[in-house]
Amino acid sequence: MPEDRYQDYVIKDGRLVGDFESLYDKFEDPWHQSRVDHLHDSRRSIALAQCIHLRGTNPMDQVNRVVEIGCGFGHLTDSLRQQGFSAVGIDVAETAVAKARERNPSSVFLAASIDSPPLLASLDPDIVIMAEVTWYVLDHLSDFLKRLREHALRRQRPTYLIHLLTTYPPGVQQYGRDYFTDLDGILNFFDLDYLESGFVQVKREDDPGSQGTYFVARIPKE
């Protein structure tokens, strides 16, 4: 019998499985989060640096509240807290949230999904971070972006979105191809006021030819 792969609890045979509760229950360290440490990922370092930059260049707006969607074990959320941000990490898997709290007891983590209606209103974020979760919420993405725009208009000052996502070369990517397959497609889909965007090409044996994309955007457009 073949050994279980944590990836099969997420996307398998070109279909979204999305069983994140079982994923975090059955596997000690999915995506090697503990061993790699998020801040050894250059794009997560960029995300942290961008949060610090946005806070420094918007003193009158008091850019300080950050929500990380799909926080996993919470490494990035905790790093933001250490930099003085009021940071909250959310994850759809309660087991992931429990492990994040165990690993980072000084940080705040909540079990919630991206489509939870009170999420933006109750947390009132200045910055939202989506780090490697977009493939898993494609069906909810348009509605979430609409709510994010409404949130920014309601508070009458900008909200910032920092987005990290790995893309895969033709022949490798099976799921989500009707949404986007590269950085240009991502930027066209989100259609935001981009402050910075780019990608990191990393040599990876498990995902040859993949690119780590990122963007920083202001909502709403000016």
Express each pLDDT in 211-222 by its tens digit. Answer: 889 999 999 865
Full residue range of the structural domain in which residue 136 is found: 38-219
pLDDT of residue 4: 72
**pLDDT band, very low/low/confident/very high, at 15 (cuts 50, 70, 90):** confident
pTM across the whole model: 0.90
pLDDT of residue 201: 80
pLDDT of residue 3: 58
What's the CA gap between 146 and 191, in Å, rounded? 12
Please count the other Cβ atoms lying within 10 Å of the Cβ belonging to residue 46. 19
Question: Tokens 């508070």 label which residue?
Answer: 155
Is 60 exceeded by the pLDDT of residue 138? Answer: yes
137 within some domain: yes
* Residue 77 near residue 87 (C-beta atoms within 8 A): yes
pLDDT of residue 222: 59
Average pLDDT over residues 113-141: 91
Please count the other Cβ atoms lying within 10 Å of the Cβ belonging to residue 1. 3
Beta strands 211-219 and 65-69 are: unpaired
pLDDT of residue 11: 74
Number of domains, the chain: 1
171 within some domain: yes
What's the CA gap between 106 and 81, in Å, rounded? 8
Region of 94 please: left (phi>0), alpha (psi -120 to 50) or beta. Answer: alpha
**pLDDT band, very low/low/confident/very high, at 12 (cuts 50, 70, 90):** confident
What's the CA gap between 93 and 54, in Å, rounded? 30
Average pLDDT over residues 195-199: 95
Beta strands 159-167 and 11-12 are: unpaired
Burial of residue 150, with CB atoms counted within 10 A of its CB: 0-12 exposed, 13-18 middle, 19 or more buried: middle
107 within some domain: yes
Express each pLDDT in 140-195 by its tens digit. Answer: 999 999 999 999 999 888 999 999 999 988 777 788 889 999 999 999 999 999 99
**pLDDT band, very low/low/confident/very high, at 2 (cuts 50, 70, 90):** very low
23 within some domain: no
120 within some domain: yes
16 within some domain: no
pLDDT of residue 1: 33
83 within some domain: yes
Residue 134's CATH number: 3.40.50.150
Q: What is the mean pLDDT of the chain?
A: 86
109 within some domain: yes
